[in-house]
A and B are shown apart, each in its own frame.
Chain A
């Protein structure tokens, strides 16, 4: 999944440097949502705070 996120971000940067701002921001949005979902999948353990 992270491979896909990195790839989409690389495409977003290339799209931006080619001048397509709207498409690039859309790809950023897709990557951001995927990254949040992927973090939610891994961040399942409660932090063990020294209280």
Chain B
């Protein structure tokens, strides 16, 4: 895996972690808990990032990009469905818009961007890293590559905690107004 492709995978992982952190910022800044479909779009971003994680740790392989594309397709379905729910004139969308578009529309565009980036990286990757030993790939897994993976793990764990605080062990409300855990913190 060339340095450009390696950095591209790290940028993909950090980019997805940044998107999830921005979603957190908007959630707490505007006090708008995510709807169930919004949370599933966050799940889709985490699923997308997994292929990048595998590429950074084990070297580039088509299977890893395939997992990223699967995650992005799931995200396209989840966000596309939500966009179609309010595409009719007068239909109310969930949440506040950001730079003129609602977050589900942003998600849809970002999932298309992930598909495009994964396709470009796959084309530039050249020969798969099957011939390298695990020791060789593990030796290269350091610095910013390791940071990108650890950041993603931290953001995913934060999302798990957030989801539990919002919904508990039960289903989330269709239009949530508060946090499930707040009833125990009074």
For residue A48, which residues in chain B have a CB less than 8 angstroms away from its CB?
A: 85, 87-88, 91
Q: Report how far A5 CA is from B50 CA in the complex, Å.
A: 13
Interface SS of chain A? helix
Q: Assess A32 versus B71: contact at CB under 8 Å? Given A6-B156, A19-B138, A49-B84.
A: yes
A24-41 CB contact bits vs B (8 Å, 1 = yes)? 110010011001101100
- Nearest Cβ in chain A — how far from B133, in angstroms? 12
- Nearest Cβ in chain B — how far from A37, in angstroms? 11
Residues A6 and B159 in contact, CB atoms below 8 Å apart: yes
Binding site for A on B (CB under 8 A): 36-37, 39-40, 43-44, 46-47, 50, 53-54, 57-58, 63, 67, 70-71, 74, 77-78, 81, 84-85, 87-89, 91, 134, 138, 141, 146, 149-150, 152-153, 156-157, 159-160, 163-164, 167, 169, 171-172
